Chains A and B, each alone.
Chain A
Amino acid sequence: MYRYDEFDERFVRERVAQFSDQVSRRLDGSLTEDEFKPLRLKNGVYLQLHAYMLRIAVPYGTLNGRQLRQLALIGERFDRGYGHFTTRQNLQFNWPKLRDVPEILGLLADVEMHCIQTSGNCIRNVTADHFAGVAQDEIEDPRPTAELIRQWSSLHPEFSYLPRKFKIAVTGAEADRAVTKAHDIGLRLRRHPHTHEVCYEVSVGGGLGRTPMIGKVVRDYLPKADLLAFLEAIMRVYNLEGRRDNKYKARVKILVHETGTEEFIRRVEEEFAQLDGPSINADPEEVARIAAYFAPPTYEALPAVSRTLDAMKAANPAFARWVEVNTTPHKAPGYTALTISLKPVGEAPGDATSEQMRIVADLAEQFSHDELRVTHAQNLVLPHVRQRDLFTIWQRLGEAKLASANIGLITDIISCPGLDYCALATARSIPIAQAIQHRFASDTRQRDIGELNIKISGCINACGHHHVGHIGILGLEKRGIESYQITLGGDASENAAIGEILGPGLAAEDVPDAIERIVNVYLAERNEGESFLANVRRIGLSPFKAAFQEVVHAAA
């Protein structure tokens, strides 16, 4: 894991001191709200419906036990005993008091954390594959790249006032678990077919929100050494030409769309050719220094399959089921990457109590080389678990209500906070998630349905990624009540696709019925072994629309 050097440390400490001073000046009236607001936002402090909200950056979703335990402490001492993990792999506290924020930032700095660049029109926290470094389908660990970008983009003077916020995601695997195609820039490490050199595929102009777009590939094989200069070229073109006249057209996706991909590429390449690459690109020594932090831990030599695990599974079907659903094959024999579900039926997706955080922190220290990950799907991962330890972990998680066996299934719902917390929301999303979870709570039923991603956003900003949900749900306001628009066929993977709207908006209470009817069409129409999404692709929207219309008519 990356450790702060003296520059990082000083930078973060200075920021805490600056913000403490800014809060005092706000309180004594020397800063007006208009002056103060951008300053607090630069430190992750938002004002929501019921309180302030503090967004803490979890760089590329990687944490250690000590950090998670500190978050637990902050949650308990300054919040209401819980936090919310987001689709940006960050953590949000829902109830901090402004007067306490300087102290909270100090506690974060103690464990090499901060809230910088979690808001504002800058390059935000870089996200990455949550199985980075351990996935069997990985070509190269994306985290050294993410960390390099973090360092390059932190307080980058040229890119601190972009036309709009800017999100970068990196994956190093075949399967895209970081939704890279829905980011302003998506990077995919891949091998050049002839030279076999590891390069980046660079996509620009993906994004969800009001105008959802899938990123366009602007470079198929960028040599790794050229990364920063090439990013700088993209950022320059965007910074100069991105629209500052209209907030809704200011993201780079609109620029790429309006300019046309080819012309956009031409401008980027022109800028890139003019830049003095060597003065911008990272020093290979520094790149190596960063990469060394992400060297894999020393694994024990173990047989590929643990006999202890097999015996435990045979004796305990519920455990076997959990292992089957929540673990992912690991590079190292005898190990596994374990996903801990933060989606127990009936709880707010992504919420974890301080007590649960402590338990996961303990487990990470004891069983996962002191490492854990936050996923964009709002779950946690213990990336390096010995298969034979799974049973003990499962028991401990069970005591903390963290042993749901539902990863990737219909109750593993992504949901933004929505109108229960968020000041921008047009409708609630958490209660919709809860109602669907209750409807599909049965394990056998979930298992029968198989992989199905439902994603819910409480407004058009799409923090809940609804556009790329197999089933997407968007909460809107219609004539003074909450109304939910359902989309079908979205895909967050390497085959990224935007879902299509099924029909008119529904009242909250009709949503579970609508989902059930959609699922029933699938169950009736699927071929042997065909997933929900594959089925939608094969049979098209019409049968689903017809079933959906029945709900609309029944409700009318």
Chain B
Amino acid sequence: MAVAPKRVPLPAILLANDLLDGDVVFASEQSQGALAWTRDPGLALVANDDTAAEQLEAFAVTEFKAQHVVDAYLVDVSIENGVAVPRHYRERMKTLGPSNRPDLGKQAGDGIQAERRG
């Protein structure tokens, strides 16, 4: 378990599942550079270099230990129209929701609207 897996190619974002709600959350940058989770994949912080990636990894570890999230890992992305899109289709599904139900999941704004209002 302790062996760190090889890091994905950069740029990358950090995603996880919220421990209590189970939905997918993304590490994003708050004011003063602090990291926090967002439901909105559009706000995910993109790590372009090793320093930024290490910062995300460290955040994953502390947040896991703090019982906030589970299954946190880095995902390599490409930037499409200014938005980070996971390169692999599996991770893309996590930023969208079930493809047969466009009315559900992130593609339908689940959790995102509320966050924007909040």
Q: Pick from A80, A99, A419: contact of B90, CB below 8 A.
A: A419
Bound-state CA distance A514–B64 (Å) is 46
Are A50's CB and B20's CB within 8 A?
A: no
Smallest beta-carbon distance A74→chain B, Å: 16
Contacts of B99 in A (CB 8 A): 420, 428, 430-431
Question: What 0/1 readout, one digit per residue, does chain B (61-78) give for beta carbons within 8 Å of chain A?
Answer: 000101100110000000
Residues of chain B in range 51-110 having any CB-CB distance to chain A below 8 Å: 64, 66-67, 70-71, 87-90, 93-94, 97-101, 104-106
Instruction: Give how many A residues have a beta carbon under 8 Å from the other chain's beta carbons.
Output: 29
Are B21's CB and A50's CB within 8 A?
A: no
List 3 tightest A-B contacts by C-beta distance, closest first: A420-B98, A52-B22, A51-B22
Instruction: Give how many B residues have a beta carbon under 8 Å from the other chain's beta carbons.
Output: 26
Contacts of B100 in A (CB 8 A): 348, 420, 430-431, 434
Are B71's CB and A80's CB within 8 A?
A: no
Does A230 sit within 8 A of B, measured CB to CB?
A: no
Residues of A whose CB lies within 8 Å of any CB of B are 26-29, 33, 47, 49-52, 80, 94-99, 348, 419-421, 425, 428, 430-431, 434, 480-482
Does B8 sit within 8 A of A, measured CB to CB?
A: no
Are B22's CB and A47's CB within 8 A?
A: yes
Would you mind naming 29 contact pairs between A and B with Cβ atoms under 8 Å apart?
A: A27-B67, A29-B66, A29-B67, A33-B70, A47-B22, A47-B70, A49-B90, A49-B93, A49-B94, A50-B22, A50-B23, A50-B94, A50-B98, A51-B22, A94-B98, A95-B104, A97-B20, A97-B21, A98-B20, A98-B21, A419-B89, A420-B100, A420-B101, A428-B99, A430-B98, A480-B87, A480-B88, A480-B89, A481-B89
A420-B100, A481-B89 given; A33·B22 CB < 8 A:
no
A420-B100, A430-B100 given; A98·B22 CB < 8 A:
yes
Q: Pick from B21, B22, B88, B93: contact of A420, CB below 8 A.
A: B93
Does B43 sit within 8 A of A, measured CB to CB?
A: no
Bound-state CA distance A421–B94 (Å) is 9
Bound-state CA distance A481–B94 (Å) is 16
Bound-state CA distance A428–B105 (Å) is 16
Are B98's CB and A421's CB within 8 A?
A: yes
Are A47's CB and B105's CB within 8 A?
A: no
Contacts of A481 in B (CB 8 A): 89
Are B93's CB and A419's CB within 8 A?
A: yes
Given A47-B71, A51-B23, A480-B89, 15 further pairs, Cβ under 8 A: A27-B19, A29-B67, A33-B64, A33-B70, A47-B17, A50-B97, A50-B106, A51-B22, A99-B21, A430-B98, A430-B99, A431-B100, A434-B100, A480-B88, A481-B89
Residue of B nearest to A80 (CB): B104
Smallest beta-carbon distance A336→chain B, Å: 33
Bound-state CA distance A50–B106 (Å) is 9
Contacts of A27 in B (CB 8 A): 19-20, 67
Contacts of A50 in B (CB 8 A): 22-24, 93-94, 97-98, 105-106
Contacts of A421 in B (CB 8 A): 98
Contacts of A47 in B (CB 8 A): 17, 22, 70-71
Contacts of B22 in A (CB 8 A): 47, 50-52, 95-98
Residue of B nearest to A423 (CB): B71
Q: Pick from B17, B66, B70, B89: contact of A482, CB below 8 A.
A: B89
Bound-state CA distance A287–B110 (Å) is 50
Smallest beta-carbon distance A5→chain B, Å: 35
Smallest beta-carbon distance A422→chain B, Å: 10
Contacts of A26 in B (CB 8 A): 19, 67
Bound-state CA distance A481–B21 (Å) is 30
Bound-state CA distance A425–B87 (Å) is 17
Smallest beta-carbon distance A468→chain B, Å: 24
Bound-state CA distance A249–B67 (Å) is 34
Residue of B nearest to A420 (CB): B98
Bound-state CA distance A348–B67 (Å) is 34
Contacts of A28 in B (CB 8 A): 67
Bound-state CA distance A260–B74 (Å) is 45
Contacts of A29 in B (CB 8 A): 66-67
Contacts of A430 in B (CB 8 A): 98-100
Smallest beta-carbon distance A529→chain B, Å: 36
Smallest beta-carbon distance B61→chain A, Å: 12
Contacts of A49 in B (CB 8 A): 24, 90, 93-94
Smallest beta-carbon distance A40→chain B, Å: 10
